Amino acid sequence: MKAISEPRRVKPERITGIAHVFAAAGYSIGGLRRLWQETAFRHIVFALAASIVLLGIAGATFGDYCIQFVLFFGLVAVEALNTAIECLVDHLTADWEEFARDAKDLGSLATMCLLIANAMFLISVVVRYFILS
Q: Which residues are annotated binding-site positions for substrate?
A: 79, 108
Phi, psi torsion values for 43, nearest 5 degrees: -65, -40
Catalytic residue, candidates 6, 13, 79, 98? 79
Query: Is 79 annotated as catalytic?
Result: yes
Phi, psi torsion values for 5, nearest 5 degrees: -100, 150
Annotated binding site: 27, 38, 79, 86, 104-105, 108
Active-site residues, by number, are: 79
